[in-house]
Amino acid sequence: MHSFAEAYSIHTRNRFSPTMASDLNMLSKKLITSLLFIFLVLSPPSARAVITCNMIYKDLKPCLRYVLIGGSVPTKCCTGVKSLVANATTTADRQAACSCVKNLATSATDKQFDRAARIPAQCGANVPFEISRDADCSK
C-alpha cells in the first residue's frame, strides 16, 4: 500500500507528461503576465506630473498680447486656459501648473499681473489654484 503522497506522485507522473508539464508552466507564466498587465492598466495613475511648463506656455501663448497691452481676451487664449484646466487632472499636474504660472508672474508688472489674473474669469474657466505671486503651489 502506498502513502497518499506516493500515490499522488505516481498518479501525477502517469497523468502529466513532461511536455504537458512544460505547457502548463508556460500557460502559468502567460496568465501571471496577463494579470500583471491588467493590474497595471487598472491601477491608479502615479503622482508624477504629466503637465510641463512648456505645455503651459504653449497653451497660454495666445494670452500674451492681452497681458502685455490689454484690450480684449482672445478666443484662443480662453481655449488655451480651458485646455490647461482640463489637462490638470491630478494634484501633481495642478502643482506643476501653479508653479509655472507663478514663475511667469514674477516677471510681470502689476498691471500685467492684474490682467493675467482676470483671464480665467473672463474665459469662464475655473482654475484650480490661486493666481497670485504668493500662491502656495504645494496644495
Total-model pTM: 0.62
pLDDT tens profile 101-112: 888 888 889 999
Q: What is the pLDDT of residue 15?
A: 54
3-state secondary structure string across the chain: CCCHHHHHHHHHHHHCCHHHHHHHHHHHHHHHHHHHHHHHHHCCCCCCCCCCHHHHHHHHHHHHHHHHHCCCCCHHHHHHHHHHHHHCCCHHHHHHHHHHHHHHHHCCCHHHHHHHHHHHHHHCCCCCCCCCCCCCCCC
pLDDT tens profile 11-70: 555 555 566 556 555 544 544 444 334 444 444 444 566 888 999 899 999 999 999 999
